[in-house]
Structure 1
Amino acid sequence: MIEIKNLSFSYNRQALLFEDLNLVLEQGHIYGLLGKNGAGKSTLLKNIAGLVYPQKGSCLVNEINVSGRPVSVLEEIYFLAEDFYVPSLTPAQFVANTAGFYPKFSKSDFYTYLKALDVDEDAVMDKQSFGQQKKAMIAFGLATNTGLLIMDEPTNGLDIPSKVQFRKLIASVLTDERCIVISTHQVRDLDSLIDTLLVLHEKEIVINRPMDEVAEKLTFGFYADTEGLKVLYEERDMRGSNAIVQNTANKYSKVDLELLFNAIISGTKKIVEILKA
């Protein structure tokens, strides 16, 4: 589906955000892209969507270079940016003007998603709150039924019930023919949603692993006392430690994405080595 080859990118041709980055993303998966602010998550997504152009390397979608922005590729990509513009139109008017760019767009799906997200189909979008605008654009993106769905910080601005509904809808639209990539700094919003974890750190993808594999190799838990444990990373408080240890007992634990992310960006190389092995 997506193949990034030796991609190097910068905005000022001096400080590279990526250098010889390689990544393959497959259909049938929901990828969660994590990284520190400024790591280049949004820029990576824009490269995938063909909205910016690398200094070196290429990004292929279905074996076609997106830099040329051919119609056959664009009609299979929907990109919801973190910062977006909504026109002074109702959702129905927006669909009438925009849905034609996406051959597999479904009006019935769109109105189903609007209802699920509690969006008024007759309200003028630019008069609504940011959260309502975001939900209207999420509904549109899901209804395009594109093979590649890219969302940058989609839960930003949503209240808790809307985040719950968002996770349900994303899980419901995944098919074997669809690839979904979600970037966020709100790590807990991806809990129980993504099946594959991507971590962008220091100009490269340091983690690209299925969540099941992460759970097989690492154990996450709270320990009153970590003495005697081979702790890979821990965060202490007055009651004890939230810790990551290597899973040598073949016991499953729920992956703590926030703890894992903190461990990786803190420079805990052993965890990266274990997950890459």
Structure 2
Amino acid sequence: MLEIDNLTFAYKKSGNIFEKFSANFAPGHIYGLLGPNGAGKSTLLYLMAGLLRPQSGLVMLDGCDVRKRRPETTTDIFIVPDEYELPRVSLSEYIRVNSVFYPRFSYDDLKRYLSVFGMNEDVNLGNLSLGQGKKVYMSFAMATHTRVLLMDEPTNGLDIPGKAQFRQFLSEGHTSDSIFVVSTHQVKDIEQVLEHIVMFDDSEILANADIKSIFPDGNVDLERFFNERINQKMAQQ
């Protein structure tokens, strides 16, 4: 279980992003993390990974405080940020240097995930386009088999076929033991593979529910649902 308990976090210039915010993420689910611009979705992912430290409150993986950056959490949480720069090395060299930090890394699975994206392992990371680089990095992330995989705007930079491939990629890589949390503005790209959503704004949970309970008829339209909840919140202010 990944637990967020009474989390308060602020940047010096912009003030509080979260105040006494709580949420839980259970294994076996692909979560959509939704919220308007500035709600703190990316910040929350970094807090969940232990890369930012809250002013108060805790993020815990199986009872272990992630901000302490102990091996039992750092080897079991992988974050794919929205923007990153890959080194100008071959993928084989990148794997040699980085895979040792993840005891369940599988080279065979990396090749399988790359094949979903129509790619292979014989590439130099410095020569890839934004979309190609994202596909390779996400494939490496999935191949680490960390129990927690955090992804920030993963479909940015992907073309239409790439977005379809990403949906297949998520479905193939997910297991009953894993927690996938995907933050996105482009809900149409992935709404068909999400199993649960956590939607928030101003530290207030606006929705925390299984997709099937929100759309029992199977006609998933998260964009409409999102706009309705935001409008309801604004009307109450």
Larger RCO (CA within 8 A; separation ≥ 6): 2
Q: What amino acid does structure 2 have at the position aligned with 1:149?
A: L
Q: Quick check: which has more Rg, 1 or 2?
A: 1
2:83 equivalent to 1:83? yes
User: 1:1-277 alignment to 2 at 5 Å?
Assistant: 1-12=1-12, 15-216=15-216, 252-267=217-232
Q: 4+ residue runs of structure 1 moved beyond 6 angstroms?
A: none
Q: Report the CA distance shift for 1:253/1:140 in structure 2 as closer, same or farther (over 3 A).
A: closer
1:204 deviation in Å? 2.5
Distance 2:160 2:12 in 1: 39
TM-score if structure 1 supplies the norm length? 0.82
Provide, for residues 44-86 of structure 1, a one-character-per-residue CA deviation record: whole Å limited to 9, x for no partner: 0000000001011010011100110001111001110111120
- Please state whether the residue corresponding to 2:38 is helix, strand or coil: coil
Secondary structure of the residue that 1:10 maps to in structure 2?
Answer: strand
* Alpha-carbon distance in 2 for matches of 1:199, 1:182: 12
Aligned residues: CA RMSD: 1.7
- CA shift digits 1:207-251 (9 cap, x unpaired): 1100111124xxxxxxxxxxxxxxxxxxxxxxxxxxxxxxxxxxx
TM-score, with structure 2 as normaliser: 0.95
User: How many residue pairs end up in the alignment?
Assistant: 236
Counterpart contact for 2:30–2:194, Cα < 8 Å: yes
- Whole-Å separation in 1 of the counterparts to 2:3 and 2:155: 26
Structure 1: tracts of 5 or more residues without a match:
217-251, 273-277
Deviations 1:174-223 (A, max 9, x none): 2111110000010101221110011121222221100111124xxxxxxx
Gaps of 5+ in 2: none
Aligned counterparts of 1:124 and 1:269: Cα–Cα separation in 2: 48
1:152/1:184 contact within 8 Å kept: yes
For the residue of structure 2 that corresponds to 1:267, the secondary structure is: helix
Q: Kindly indicate whether the alpha-carbon contact (under 8 Å) linking 2:212 and 2:218 is maintained by their aligned counterparts in 1.
A: no
